[in-house]
Chains A and B, each alone.
Chain A
Amino acid sequence: MRLLIEIEVRFGEFVLSVNESLTLDGVTALFGPSGSGKTTLLRCIAGLEPRAEGRIEADDQAWLDSKAGVSLPAHHRMAGMVFQQALLFPHLSVRKNLLYGWRRRGQRPGPDFSEVLDALRLAPLLEQRENELSGGEMQRVALGRVLLSAPRMLLLDEPLAAQDERRKAEILPYLKRTIREFQLPVVYVSHAVDEVMPMASRVLHMDSGRLQSSAAARVSGGTAFGAILLGATLQRQLDSRLAVFCVGNAEVIAFLDSDTPNAREVLLAVEPRDLVIATGKTDAPLNAGAMDCTVRSIGEDETSGNLVLELAAGSSSFRLEHSFARHSDTVLRVGQKIRVLLTQPARVASPIVQSGTGRDSA
């Protein structure tokens, strides 16, 4: 599915300005710090944001054209939205929740009731109500409900963020299965690199209301919780599983995936727990990589009180949230060189995809 987005949304000081032509197939991961406009972008696509101005086209159908006065309402766009909360209708049983969209889909082809019931194992829950379900079950019902409405895509807005680790582990397999079996284009907003990257075929990064497509922007999508390093080039293979990649002027060791392509450039995902800021003179442990980074800015996360460092390594930049840095004696300042250690090898997440052309053939 081709999605053209040329929109601007203003509220108060915040301006969301996106100008992008995307080919959605498989999973498109959308990263970005809180308040960067990810949710607003999804709402604009879904037709739930009346303040959106500009143009949105899906496969040559105009969803929004402010100049022509066109704004297709949400129930004609059918961009199935899944929110952080399951938002089941509390006055309806699980069965009626599931049938809500199904009854309204008319002649549109879509998954069968039984098919969705099987994939998400919903049959035992049918006669229950929202207040009898666990958080994980609720999110499964929400997922089933949106699938049964026969949407043209799935917009997942941090669907696991409200769940604890145990529940995440419980829902994730269902989510993956859904994405695999029902073959819908997915835009997946998340903070957690490790949650999305294994599924993602392309990465978008949003910052301060602007969208940066992976290849076009040439800037890494850093989240507060882990880093994505873009433009990594293979330098030398260590053994059948490990290789050294070059990111800027740093060398990073990463696991080689069996289907890692011979792509010129790859995207490396580093999970949050694998990033450590080295203080003093430290050599990297044997099985790890190290990157020399420049501190670009130092901020503070309002909720956690942790330092948020924006670091640059070569042409990549990413953010790192660190409680350790706050408590250490080391005083960090902008422009300073610091060493970031990767305590585990990074993972090759995906080949870099050209903006608007879909998945690389490599």
Chain B
Amino acid sequence: MIRAVEVIELDSLWLTLRLASLSTAILMVLATPLAYWLATTKAGIKPIVEAVTALPLILPPTVLGFYLLILFSPSSAFGSLWVQVTGQTLSFSFTGILLASVVHSFPFAVQPMQTAFENNGRRPAEVAQSLGASPFDAFITVTVPMARRGFLTAAVLGFAHSVGEFGVILLVGGNIPGRTRVISIDIYTHVETLDYASAHFLSMLTLCFAMLVLSLVFIVNRRYPIRT
């Protein structure tokens, strides 16, 4: 009995870490160009794009989860296309909650990066280009390193937000052990079944993990102080 509980617990922990790491990686890849575009563009459409990007911040997770559930269902155009291409359904799958998590955490990654790029200004990249660096070279060797605090914040917030994800995942992924039952849903299930011991254990684990990650971030940040 005890061994069985342990297996499930580790399962949900492992699943959560996998989900958070993967969605953080995807977030960084997707959010960087958008954040850079938002920080540098003068296009009139910018406020609209910013609003859409920020939507997951204020929408109740259930609303977002509901729409994603509709979108992911095999009867929708997107959902059926996904089934045709990959042979798997998005709803109630790991890929589904990964996509949902990316969407829901998107503003947490975009906004710190956008702020960091805006603080850089366009001048450093221009200096790099006038010194012989191509625009991409300048971006990689000057713009990104100068915005590294923004990147770190984006990664940590994106990761933490994915770890804490509950409502959207419950709607999109359900509560399938080993597939979509992440740690927050696992805790919820334990509380529902009055298994407070397991809930305590997992909650404390999550708390310690959060504390560890944040401490690491602040230690790293102290080594790279903000310019004065």
Q: Indicate whether B129 reaches chain A with its CB closer than 8 angstroms.
A: yes
Q: Which residues of B contact A74 (CB under 8 A)?
A: 126, 129-130
A130 at the interface (CB under 8 A from B): yes
Chain A residues whose CB sits within 8 angstroms of the CB of B128 once the complex forms: 89, 100
CB pair B134–A75 under 8 Å, yes or no, is: yes
Q: B133: which A residues are within 8 A, CB to CB?
A: 75, 100, 104
Q: Say if the beta carbon of A146 comes within 8 Å of chain B.
A: yes
- CB distance A46 to B130 under 8 Å? yes
Residue in A85, A89, A105, A131 whose CB lies within 8 Å of B132 = A105
Contact B127 A75 (CB under 8 A): no
Which residue on chain A has the smallest CB distance to residue B141? Answer: A100
B141-172: contact bitstring with A at CB < 8 Å (1 yes, 0 no)? 11001101000000000000000000000000
Determine whether B228 belongs to the interface, using a CB cutoff of 8 Å to chain A: yes
Q: Nearest B residue to A92 by beta-carbon distance?
A: B145
Q: Which residues of B contact A89 (CB under 8 A)?
A: 124, 127-128, 142, 145-146
Name the residue of chain B whose CB is nearest to the CB of A77.
B130
CB distance from A108 to the nearest CB of B (A): 9
Which residues does chain B contribute within 8 Å of A281, judged by CB atoms?
A: none
Per-residue contact bits, chain A 99-116, to B (CB 8 Å; 1 contact, 0 not): 011001100000000000
Is A48 a contact partner of B132 (Cβ separation < 8 A)? no
- The answer on a CB contact under 8 Å between B132 and A149 is yes
Residue of B nearest to A106 (CB): B132
Q: Which of A47, A78, A81 contacts B127 (CB 8 A)?
A: A81
* Cα distance, A83 to B121, chains bound together (Å): 14
The interface on chain B, measured as residues whose beta carbon lies within 8 A of the other chain's beta carbons, has a size of 20
Contact status A87-B131, CB under 8 Å: no
Interface residues of A in 66-86 (CB under 8 A from B): 73-75, 78-81, 83, 85
Q: A91-B145, A100-B133 known; A131 and B228 CB under 8 Å? A: yes
Known A-B contacts A83-B123, A130-B227; A104 and B130 likewise in contact (beta carbons under 8 Å): no
Q: Does A140 sit within 8 A of B, measured CB to CB?
A: no
- Cα-based distance from A89 to B146 in the complex (angstroms): 8
Is B177's beta carbon under 8 Å from chain A? no
B135 close to A (CB within 8 Å): yes
Q: Encode B85-105 as 1/0 by CB contact (under 8 A) with A.
A: 000000000000000000000
- Set of chain A residues within 8 Å of B132, measured between Cβ atoms: 75, 78, 101, 104-105, 149
Smallest Cβ-Cβ distance to B224: which chain A residue:
A91
The answer to the question of A205 belonging to the interface, with a C-beta cut-off of 8 Å to chain B, is no
- Per-residue CB contact flags for chain B residues 193-211 toward chain A (1 = under 8 Å, else 0) read 0000000000000000000
| Inter-chain contact B146/A75, CB cutoff 8 Å | no
User: In the complex, how many angstroms separate the beta carbon of A153 from the nearest chain B beta carbon?
Assistant: 11
State in angstroms the CA–CA spacing of A48 and B146 once bound together.
20
**Residues in B105-127 with C-beta less than 8 Å from chain A:** 123-124, 126-127
Contact of B124 among A87, A105, A145 (CB under 8 A): A87
Contact of A124 with B by CB under 8 A:
no
| Of A73, A101, A105, most B-chain CB atoms within 10 Å | A101
Is A280 engaged at the interface, CB distance under 8 Å to the other chain?
A: no
User: Bound complex: CA of A232 vs CA of B133, how far in Å?
Assistant: 46
A105 to B134, CA, bound (A): 12
- Cβ B127 vs Cβ A87 within 8 A: yes
Q: Which residues of A lie under 8 Å from residue B148 when comparing CB positions?
A: 91
Task: List, in ascending order, chain A residues with CB within 8 A of B146's CB.
Answer: 89-91
Interface positions, chain A 36-56, Cβ under 8 Å from B, are: 46-48
Chain B residues lying within 8 Å of A73, measured Cβ to Cβ, are 129, 134-135
Known contacts A47-B129, A75-B129, A149-B130; 17 additional CB pairs below 8 A are: A46-B130, A73-B134, A73-B135, A75-B132, A75-B133, A78-B130, A78-B132, A80-B131, A81-B130, A83-B127, A87-B124, A87-B127, A89-B142, A91-B146, A130-B227, A146-B130, A149-B131
User: 13 A-B pairs, CB-CB below 8 angstroms?
Assistant: A47-B130, A75-B131, A75-B132, A80-B131, A87-B127, A91-B142, A91-B146, A100-B128, A100-B133, A104-B131, A104-B137, A146-B130, A149-B132
Instruction: Give the B-binding residues of A (Cβ under 8 A).
Output: 46-48, 73-75, 78-81, 83, 85, 87, 89-91, 100-101, 104-105, 130-131, 145-146, 149, 151
